[in-house]
Amino acid sequence: MRRNAAVALAVFLTAVIVSWGIGGCGSSGIPEEDRSELILATTTSVLDSGLLDELVARFEERYPYRVKAIAVGSGAALLMARQGEADVTITHEPKAEKEFMDAGYGESRREVMYNDFIIVGPAADPAGIKGTQDAVEAFERISSSQAPFVSRGDASGTNAMELSVWERAGIQPSGEWYSESGQGMGYTLRIAEETGAYTLTDRATFIVLDEALDLEVMVEGDEGL
């Protein structure tokens, strides 16, 4: 299983890297019955951004695999791989990825793209955070004003980043103003809009959903994000 996963991983990442530098390729002409299934555990952010469909299509044109993509949080994706339930993962939680590799669960880890995080919220900006480039300061203002905040609360890379900001601020968020969706990024953004709350999101998902959301970028540019 681990040997097969290593081969699949190398092939998939090659396709990801190549996809950035060239246009679409012609069909490989590989019969469907000759394809092997490759299980990809990826983050909801990659799915919500619209990028996943493009990468999978280009990959399947080149290689004899049928990709079965399962979108979950980074923590859940890495757990699936640990349990032998996924051949490849695309995650964005570097600390957990390195722990995964150090424990001997993976054969190869490569950085193939990047995303950054931003804090978004209602135009009214009840905590007065718009324009600051310091996420810790923004979280301190949200906490002190008890302005509504929605966390993903799903052990995803985004959730891990959010919790790290609260930790740096020395705050244990709790109370009626702080809630958890337990869902992916797209769903969490919609809850934030409906409740007039702030949330931490990856930029790619927000760009895709921006026109459908009544939320504004409040904090961006913090190197810690």
Chain-centroid distance, C-alpha 191? 17
Are β-strands 36-43 and 65-72 bridged in parallel, bridged antiparallel, or unpaired? parallel
CA dihedral 205, 210, 213, 215 (to 10 degrees): 90
Weakest-pLDDT range from 28-37, 94-103, 129-138: 28-37
Report the distance separating Cα 45 and Cα 22, nearest Å: 24
Q: What is the mean pLDDT of residues 128-136?
A: 97
Summarize pLDDT for 150-180 with one digit per residue, the tens. Answer: 999 998 889 999 999 999 999 999 999 999 9
Comparing CA positions, the residue from 171, 57, 197 lying closest to residue 216 is 197
User: For the chain, how many residues are written?
Assistant: 225
Task: State which CATH number among 3.30.379.10, 3.40.50.300, 3.40.190.10, 3.30.390.50 fits the domain covering 117-219.
Answer: 3.40.190.10
- Which is higher by pLDDT, 28 or 112? 112
Average pLDDT across the chain, whole number? 87
pLDDT class for 28, splitting at 50, 70, 90?
low
CB 77 within 8 A of CB 46: no
In terms of pLDDT, which residue wins out, 73 or 41?
Answer: 41
- What integer pLDDT is reported at residue 7 of this predicted model? 44
What does pTM read for this prediction?
A: 0.71
Domain 2-102 has CATH 1.10.3470.10: no
pLDDT band for position 87 (cuts 50, 70, 90): very high
Boundaries of CATH 3.40.190.10 in the chain? 2-102, 117-219
Which pLDDT tens digit goes with each residue over 4-22?
A: 443 444 444 444 544 444 3
Confidence of residue 25 (pLDDT cuts 50, 70, 90): very low
pLDDT of residue 50: 82
pLDDT digits (tens, 9 = 90+) for 92-116: 888 899 999 999 999 999 998 888 9
